[in-house]
């Protein structure tokens, strides 16, 4: 797992597993946002499994998938809502971290 900070409130990572969640909490993150649709790739952990592990660790979670159509207005609005609701700092993840970075930038722009 390679966590890359974007700012004081948000960082990104490639795909995480339920086994990574304890390390994420130990690193100080309070919330996790998944930007991958379930079943995007064979062998990918389901969001529900990551969410269950996160909730056991006392972390907040949100699922704001960004699929093959790219960033949609609904996805950006979902990210704005997640950022308003979740405890900071937040770790966003997708396959490589690129979608998680881009949606955060768009959500910040929309929030002003």
Q: Block means of pLDDT (10 residues each) for the chain, length 112 residues?
A: 95 97 97 95 95 97 89 93 96 95 93 74
What is residue 70's predicted lDDT score, i.e. its pLDDT? 82
For the chain, the farthest-separated pair of C-alpha atoms sits apart, in whole angstroms, at 38
Class of domain 4-111: alpha beta
- CA 47, CA 54: separation in Å to the nearest integer? 10
37, exposed or middle or buried, with CB in 10 Å at 0-12, 13-18, 19+?
middle
The encoded tokens of residue 109 equal 């722009």
List of E strands, the chain: 4-5, 10-13, 31-34, 60-63, 90-93
- All structural domains of the chain with their residue ranges: 4-111
Residues β-bridged to residue 63: 34
pLDDT value, residue 110: 83
């Amino acid at each position: 797992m390679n966590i890359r900070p974007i700012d004081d409130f948000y960082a990104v990572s490639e795909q995480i597993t339920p086994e990574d969640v304890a390390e994420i909490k130990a690193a100080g993150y309070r919330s996790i946002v998944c930007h991958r649709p379930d079943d995007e790739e064979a062998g990918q952990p389901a969001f529900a499994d990551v969410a269950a592990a996160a909730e056991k660790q006392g972390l907040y979670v949100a699922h704001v998938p960004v699929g093959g159509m790219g960033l949609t207005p609904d996805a950006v609005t979902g990210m704005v809502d997640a950022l308003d609701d979740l405890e900071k700092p937040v770790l966003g993840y997708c396959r490589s971290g690129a979608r998680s970075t881009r949606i955060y930038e768009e959500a910040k722009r929309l929030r002003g």
